[in-house]
Amino acid sequence: MARKLIVGNWKMNGSLAMNAELLEGIKAGLARVDCDLAICAPFPYLAQCQQALEGTGVALGAEDVSAHAVGAYTGQVSTRMLLDFDCKYVIVGHSERREYCNESDELVANKVQRALAGGLTPIVCVGESLKEKDAGQTEAVVSRQINTVLSVLEEREVCDIVVAYEPVWAIGTGKTPTPEMVKDVHALLRELMIRKNPDAAECVRILYGGSMKPSNAEEFLKMRDIDGGLIGGAALKASDFLKIAYLASR
Ligand code: 13P
């Protein structure tokens, strides 16, 4: 994949005023960006982001989506609703949802299916916890997570997803795996996708996420197997988010 993808995941942060400043700051630095850029924002702010990002080339995404199409699911948000705000992406299976909302591999797979059926590009998150890493289970965990998603996809649909490898122990901690460790996990994920669809060698972007910031982004982004980043904390500061985007633009 020649062109890298940098995605900001705002998580449960922001306010109308804070977002306005952040969005203006990002827009002011876009001229030098030569990678794909997206912002995944909390549902209440999608309208604000849609308006601010119109015509900028920065894509919009949500942080979650319902596995259901429509109906009596209080508090849930459908793909249709996200399309009303020109969302292109939706994060599915983030470890914070797996952990705090008890999302199972099967539910994540259903959400991926629903996102694809609704015309959205799911950013499918996988990654091991610290306990799993220390027990040497990284490969087994990410394989189980991605295989459950692949098991519900048609062969052609494999090319319509983005995958993000986010080791849970690296999220918000300042700790990161080495680029070599990430490269190995990405190679495994790609191999599993290739088994389902040989085109996955080229068509699927695999992002790294977990404490990526301007000071360490280059070592990850220069690796051939790392097709971009899913950025949490550093996406909340325009200058940091832009610096990562510039590093991905080389
Ligand atoms: P941090 O960049 O804050 O570690 O968060 C990563 C993440 O979870 C993105 O989805």
Give 127-167 pLDDT, tens digit per residue: 999 999 999 999 999 999 999 999 999 999 999 999 999 99
| The pair of three-digit structure tokens given for residue 111, joined into one six-digit string | 């959400």
How far does CA 132 lie from the centroid of its chain? 21
Annotation marks residue 68 as catalytic: no
Q: Tell me, using a 6 A CB cutoff, whether residue 209 lines ligand 1.
A: yes
Using most ligand atoms within 8 A of CB, pick from 166, 169, 215 the residue to mutate for ligand 1. Answer: 166
| The pair of three-digit structure tokens given for residue 79, joined into one six-digit string | 């793909």
pTM over 0.95: yes
Determine contact, residues 144/104, Cβ cutoff 8 Å. Answer: no
Ligand 1 nearest atom to the CA of residue 96, by list position: 8
Task: Identify which of 131, 145, 134, 130 has the alpha carbon closest to the alpha carbon of residue 175.
Answer: 130
Q: How far apart are CA 106 and CA 167, in angstroms?
A: 20
Q: Could you tell me the CA-to-CA distances from 107 to 9, 99, 104, 152 in Å, in that order?
A: 21, 13, 5, 11
Ligand 1 nearest atom to the CA of residue 235, by list position: 2
Return the SS3 of 244: helix
Q: Could you tell me the CA-to-CA distances from 60 to 51, 88, 142, 173 in Å, in that order?
A: 10, 6, 26, 26
* Positive/negative CA dihedral, 122, 108, 141, 134: positive
Give 75-134 pLDDT, tens digit per residue: 999 999 999 999 999 999 999 999 999 999 999 999 999 999 999 999 999 999 999 999
Q: How far apart are CA 196 and CA 39, in angstroms?
A: 29
